[in-house]
Amino acid sequence: MAHITINQYLQQVYEAIDNREGSFCAELLSFKHPHVANPRLQLASPEDKCQQVLEPPYDEMVAAHLRCTYAVANHDFVEAYKFQTLVVQSFLKAFQSHKEENWALPVMFAVTLDLRIFANNAEQQLQKKGKGQPSEMLEKAAEQLMSCFRVCASDKSVNIHVLCVCVDYNSHFMHYYISCLMDVLVNIDIFNVGSRAGIEDSKKWGMMFLSNQLFKIYFKINKLHLCKPLIRAIDSSNLKNDYSPAQKVTYKYYVGRKAMFDSDFKLAEEFLSYAFDHCHRSSQKNKRMILIYLLPVKMLLGHMPTHQLLRKYDLMQFSDVTKAVSEGNLLLLNEALSKHETFFIRCGIFLILEKLKIITYRNLFKKVYLLLRTHQLPLEAFLVALRMMKVEDVDIDEVQCILANLIYMGHIKGYISHQHQKLVVSKQNPFPPLSSVS
Amino acid sequence: MHDTVSFVALCYSNPESAKEQERSHSQRRGAPSEGQWRQRDKEQWQGEGKAQVRQADEEEQKPRQHEEDMVPKGTCQTMCPAQELRDREAQNRLHHFEMLPGTEKDRRPKGDPSRAVKEYSRPAAGKDSTKPSDLRPPPVLLKTVNYLINDIAAAPSLYPWTEVYTFVFDRLRAVKQDMIIQRMSGLDCVGILERTVRFLIYASYRLCGEPLRLYDPRINDIHLQEYLSWLLDCYMTKTGPHPNQEEFQSLSLLYNLGSARTMQHTMQLPLRLRSTPNIKLALFINQAFLERNPVRLLRLAQKLNFLQTCALHRHLMTCRQDLLLVYSHGYSSRNCRFPLDRLAKLLFLDASLTAQLCRSCGVEVNKDNQVVFSKAAFTEPGQGTLHCKLYHSIASEKQRDLTVKNIVQSCVETNKK
Could you write out the DSSP letters of every residue in A53-116? H--TTHHHHHHHHHHHHHHHHTT-HHHHHHHHHHHHHHHHHHHHH-TT--TTHHHHHHHHHHHH
Contacts of B22 in chain A (CB under 8 A): 163-165
**B138 touches B185 (CB < 8 A):** no
Whether the per-residue pLDDT at B34 is higher than 70: the answer is no
Tell if the CB–CB gap between A165 and B6 is shorter than 8 Å.
Answer: yes
All residues of chain A having their beta carbon less than 8 Å from the beta carbon of residue B18 are 163
Residues B101-141: pLDDT tens digits?
888 888 889 999 999 999 998 877 777 778 889 999 999 99
A65: closest chain B residue by CA: B49
DSSP for B340-374, please give it. Answer: HHHHHHHHTS-HHHHHHHHHHTT-EE-TTSEEE--
* CB spacing of B290 vs A144 below 8 angstroms: no
Look at A151 and B12 and tell me if their CB atoms are within 8 Å. yes
CA distance A147 to chain B (A): 6
pLDDT at B283: 94
Nearest to B369 by CA among B382, B381, B383, B358: B358
List the single residue in A164, A165, A404 with the smallest CB-CB distance to B327: A404
Position A88 confidence tier, pLDDT thresholds 50, 70, 90: confident
Q: What is the mean pLDDT of residues A12-23?
A: 92
Q: Which residue has the higher pLDDT, A41 or B10?
A: A41
Q: What is the percent of chain A with per-residue pLDDT over 70, rounded to a whole number?
A: 79
pLDDT at B189 over 70: yes
Do residues A173 and A122 touch, judged by C-beta distance below 8 A? yes
CA closest to A132 among chain B residues: B237
* One-letter amino acid for residue A323 of the chain: K
Q: How far is A241 from chain B (nearest CA, A)?
A: 30
Quote the minimal CA–CA distance from A258 to chain B in Å: 12
Least confident range of A236-250, B170-184, B187-201: A236-250
Helix, strand, or coil (residue A415) = strand
Q: What length is written for chain A?
A: 438
Q: What DSSP string describes B49-64?
A: HHHHHHHHHHHHH-HH
Confidence check: pLDDT of B158 > 90 = no
Task: Return the residue in A405, A406, A417 with the most chain B beta carbons within 10 A, the one to mutate for interface testing.
Answer: A405
List of E strands, B260-388: 338-339, 364-365, 370-372
Mean pLDDT of A376-395: 92
Q: Quote the percentage of chain B above a pLDDT of 70.
A: 81
Rounded CA separation A178/A218 (Å):
10
Amino acid identity of residue A406, one-letter, is L
The 10s digit of each residue's pLDDT in A263-315 is 888 999 999 999 999 998 888 999 999 999 999 999 988 899 999 999 999 99
Instruction: Give the 3-state secondary structure percentages of chain A, helix then strand then coil, rounded to 5.
Output: 70, 5, 30
Residue B16: pLDDT band (50, 70, 90) is very low
**CA nearest A355: which of A436, A411, A434, A300?**
A300
Kind and range of the H or E run holding A376: strand A376-378
Round to whole Å and give the CA distance between B307 and B205.
9
Query: So what's the pLDDT on residue A429?
Result: 92
Q: How far is A12 from chain B (nearest CA, A)?
A: 23
Give residue B328's pLDDT.
96
Cα–Cα nearest to A140, from A81, A221, A259: A221
Buried b (16+ CB within 10 A) or exposed e, A174-201: bbbbbbbbbbbbbbbbbebeebebeeeb
Query: Least CB-CB distance to B50: which of A45, A163, A186?
Result: A45
What's the pLDDT band for B36 if we cut at 50, 70, 90?
very low
* Nearest CB partner across the interface for A407, out of B6, B263, B330: B330
How does the average pLDDT of chain B come out, rounded? 81
Asked if A164 lies within 8 A of B25 by C-beta distance, the reply is yes
Q: How far apart are CA A186 and CA A155, in angstroms?
A: 10
Q: Which stretch of DSSP H or E encloses residue A208?
A: helix A207-220
> Are A397 and B346 in contact (CB < 8 Å)?
yes
Q: ipTM value of the model?
A: 0.77
What is the rounded CA–CA span in Å between residue A408 and residue B250?
Answer: 30
Count how many pairs of residues, chain A against chain B, have C-beta atoms within 8 Å. 195
Which residues in chain B touch residue A140, judged by CB atoms under 8 angstroms apart?
21, 25
Q: Of A132, A182, A397, which has the smallest distance from its Cβ to B9's Cβ?
A: A182
Q: Which residues are A422's β-sheet partners?
A: A378, A417
Write the pLDDT tens digit of every residue in A73-87.
Answer: 999 988 888 888 888
Name the pTM for this structure: 0.72
Q: Is B375 helix (H, G, I), strand (E, B) or coil?
A: coil
Q: Are A381 and A373 in contact (CB under 8 A)?
A: no
Residue-averaged pLDDT of chain A: 80
Average pLDDT over residues B26-47: 39
Angle B95-B96-B98 (CA atoms, 0-180°, nearest 5)? 70
Nearest CB to B236: which of A47, A134, A398? A134
Answer yes or no: do B10 and A348 touch at CB < 8 A.
Answer: no
CA-closest candidate to residue A253, choices A287, A203, A302? A287
Query: Looking at beta carbons, which residues of chain B come within 8 Å of A348?
Result: 264
B73 and B135 in contact (C-beta within 8 Å)? yes
Closest chain A residue to B27, measured at CA: A166
Minimal C-alpha gap between B339 and chain A (Å):
9
pLDDT above 80 for A41: yes
